[in-house]
Amino acid sequence: MIFKKRSREIRWACQVNELSWNYRVARAIQAAHATGIFERLGKSSATAATVAADRKLDAEKVDQLLIVMAALGLVRRSGETWQLTPKSRTTLVSASPFYQGNIIAHSAQVAAFWNDLESILRGKKGGWGRVAKGGPAIRSHRDFILAMHNMAMAGRAAEFGDRVSVKGRRTLMDIGGGPGTYSMALCERNPRLTATVFDLPKTIRIAREVIARFGMQDRVRTVVGDWDKDEFGRAKDVVLMSNILHGPTSGAEMKLAKAHRALVPGGLLIIQDFLMNAEKTGPLIPAIFNMMVGAFSLPEMTGHIAAAGFRNIRKVAMPENVGATILTAVKQ
């Protein structure tokens, strides 16, 4: 019997069907964010016509999009008036510390890669960072850096801070630290620890804004540096490398060698990255990341760490939905 209510085949078909629909939801949220609908409703409740007039949009389509947002629990309706729910006010209005707008914008920007995936599979070159060869960049550096902060604030930094022990250590160098969120999480939990975020000038400017917003300038400092050219300092207790060792083209050997030189004997290396399993069959998030940017398997990463002169390599368990793996090691 084919037409029955419950079977593994029907369950599988439902799962695949749901996966094929997910991009529609993502695009709806991205469009609502990009057109300023959430920020407008963050100021006051309003009708679809008012939102459309304020944002120079089509009123009928705004109403339809708000209905979708209501189905997602992001807005609620009272007659003809729309308002944000607590969920969206917390995550989709830029004044909130848990704002997720930059990761939404970044996801919309990298959608060009996924939309052109068939051509890429057929051999199209040029990567995902530009519209076409020689064309304008399609991703905003600010959105990218703040997207990393958004993701960290969505539970990752808290899990990281709770699970990684730096007890008794005093100085941390955060290489390619972006907004500095993971350094702040460790400093918050370890009152005698200070951190330095090492990154390029345009990133450091953003990091200083984020650090100041959290009032942690006295604990988390910044230094301009280029990992391709500069050393990572000397006599550090901890070196953190969060999401900067993305597969064979990431210069992992060079970065790990510099980290080894920067640490005192017995110093701690912390790596957080998207790592595939030994068979390279998943998990899903690292597998997706590998297709777009690159990712090591867990054995490949541990091999590079050991080759750089580290010992006592340990895996720190993280929730599956985070997608990243944490490894710690000690300088011999």
Quick: pLDDT tens for 308-327.
999 999 999 898 888 899 99
Report strand pairing: 171-175 vs 46-47.
Answer: unpaired
Q: Given this model, what pLDDT does residue 131 score? A: 43
Report how far residue 168's alpha carbon sits from residue 158's, in angstroms, rounded to the nearest whole number: 20
- Phi/psi zone of residue 6: left (φ > 0), alpha (ψ -120 to 50 degrees), beta? beta
- Same structural domain, 190 and 327: yes
Residues 54, 165 within the same domain: no
Residue 271 in domain: yes
Q: Which residues on neighbouring strands pair with residue 276, listed in sequence order?
A: 297
Terminal Cα distance for the chain, rounded:
65
pLDDT by residue (tens digit) across 233-264? Answer: 999 999 999 999 999 999 999 999 999 999 99
> What would the mean pLDDT of 208-237 be, rounded to a whole number?
97
Band (126; pLDDT cuts 50, 70, 90): low
Q: Is 179 among the domain residues?
A: yes
- Is the bond into 283 cis (omega within 30 degrees of 0)? yes
Say if CB 332 and CB 282 are below 8 A apart: no
322 and 180 share one domain: yes
Averaged over 110-128, what is the pLDDT? 82
Residue 130 binned pLDDT confidence (cut-offs 50, 70, 90): very low
Instruction: Please say if the pLDDT value at position 18 is more than 50.
Output: yes
| Selected residue with higher pLDDT from 271 and 113 | 271
Are residues 80 and 224 both part of a single domain?
no
Query: Nearest 5°: phi and psi at 266?
Result: 85, 0
Contact (CB, 8 A) for 269 and 259: yes
- Full domain range(s) for residue 160: 154-331
Mean pLDDT of the chain: 93
Q: Is the pLDDT of residue 106 over 50?
A: yes
Which of these three, 92, 124, 144, is where a domain ends? 92
In a domain, 58, yes or no: yes
